[in-house]
Amino acid sequence: MQKRSFLQATAALALVGSLGMAHAQTTPLKFQLDWRFEGPAAFFLLPVAKGYFKDAGLDVTVDAGNGSGGAVQRVASGSYDIGFADMASLMEFHANNPDAPNKPVGVMVVYNNTPAAVMALKKSGIKTPADLSGKKLGAPVFDAGRKAFPTFAKVNKVSNVAWTAMDPPLRETMLVRGDIDAITGFTFTSLLNLEARGVKTSDVVVMQYADYGVKYYGNVIIASPKLIKENPEAIKKFLAAFTKGAKDVMAKPADAIQYVKARDGIANAALETRRLQLAIDTVVNSPDARKEGFGRLDVGRLSLMASEVSDAFGTKTRIDPKAVWNDSFLPSAAQLDVLPKK
């Protein structure tokens, strides 16, 4: 009897010890979003809520952001380990800060195409890129579409455009008022903002950059050089858990929005579901994404983008495409097979 009790006690202590070790081995990771807790944030909030990161031994904290440029800078500063940012913003940081000791690196593509587009009201008479020549365009100075517009203009032979700058909340309002002829912005943001201002989607002309010769990559997951050097396994685990969550999000977008709502109580579930679905359809599960594979990229296309961003953004130095991308942490091809069939 005493022997049995001793064995039970020993087993209990071993269990407690193993649980303690498991807890001790949990790696904390601070993750910086590019924007507010809107529909697309479900890609990161779902795997947290469902415990996918936790099951991988990661304690992930997801914080809202205020733009890709800020996300890149926060990861570069060491305030965050990993983040979500526009590839063009990452490239710009590298080229404008050649001596920065901690330049973040892209490790996984999420938006295979830039969500940037030119949008105009049909009543303006603008139908094609050629109609933009000589017109007044508006966008915040840091808007990704505005910064990339020189590439769009070059490819589509647009010239003599006058720009008006404004704070983001005024962009769509000024278009509706007729203060400007067209705007640049992310489709899943500006299109829904126009709708909220009483404009029917059918009354908007949308020129998605990807459909008009601008093959920029959109948002990618970025990691700090410190994390890459000190804990590469944590990045692999993060990407595997994220990919598992992404499959769930794309399978049932409406269900995934509950995790956005949990972080932002005033979020409109129906609106954010539409925003998420728009993002999935236009940039996550796009024809280019299905061609190249979820998470991956084409090095030739990346090189072209690096050259075009250098020109469009007027960077201090030329962008080295090899310096901004590292695909060695990606899950297997079988794990990355998550895009819904079309």
Contact (Cβ atoms closer than 8 angstroms) between residue 34 and residue 71: yes
Beta carbons of 185 and 152 less than 8 angstroms apart: no
DSSP one-letter string for 155-176: HHT---PEEE---GGGHHHHHH
- Cα R_g (the chain), whole angstroms: 22
Residues 6+ apart with CB under 8 A from 244: 47, 52, 335
Whole-model pTM: value is 0.91
Give the separation between CA 219 and CA 126, rounded to whole angstroms: 29
Q: What pLDDT was estimated at residue 18? A: 45
**Rounded distance between C-alpha atoms, residue 73 and residue 34, angstroms:** 11
Strand runs labelled E in 230-326: none
Q: Are strands 82-86 and 27-32 parallel, antiparallel or unpaired?
A: parallel
Output the pLDDT for position 5: 53
Q: What are 41-93's pLDDT values in tens digits?
A: 999 999 999 999 999 999 999 999 988 999 999 999 999 999 999 999 999 99
How crowded is the C-beta side of 178, counted as CA atoms within 13 Å? Answer: 3
Query: Rounded distance, CA 166 to CA 174, Å?
Result: 9
In angstroms, what CA-CA distances link 126 with 118, 212, 291, 315? 11, 15, 32, 31
pLDDT > 90: percent of the chain:
91
**pLDDT tens, 89-148?**
999 999 999 999 999 999 999 999 999 999 999 999 999 999 999 999 999 998 999 999
* Residue ranges of E strands in the chain: 27-32, 58-63, 82-86, 105-109, 116-121, 136-138, 162-164, 182-186, 204-208, 219-223
* Tokens read off for 278: 């728009």
Cβ contacts of 64-69, under 8 Å, gap ≥ 24: 64/33, 64/35, 64/36, 64/37, 64/263, 65/32, 65/33, 65/34, 65/35, 65/36, 66/35, 66/36, 67/34, 67/35, 67/142, 68/34, 68/144, 68/219, 69/93, 69/142
Q: Max alpha carbon distance in the chain (Å)?
A: 93
pLDDT, tens only, 181-205 = 999 999 999 999 999 999 999 999 9
Domains, the chain, ranges and CATH? 26-112+217-323 (3.40.190.10), 116-212 (3.40.190.10)
Tokens of 180: 């400007």
For residue 20, give every residue at least 6 positions away whose Cβ sits within 8 Å of its Cβ, in sequence order, or none: none
Comparison of pLDDT for 342 and 205, the residue scoring more: 205
Structure tokens at 164: 């008006």
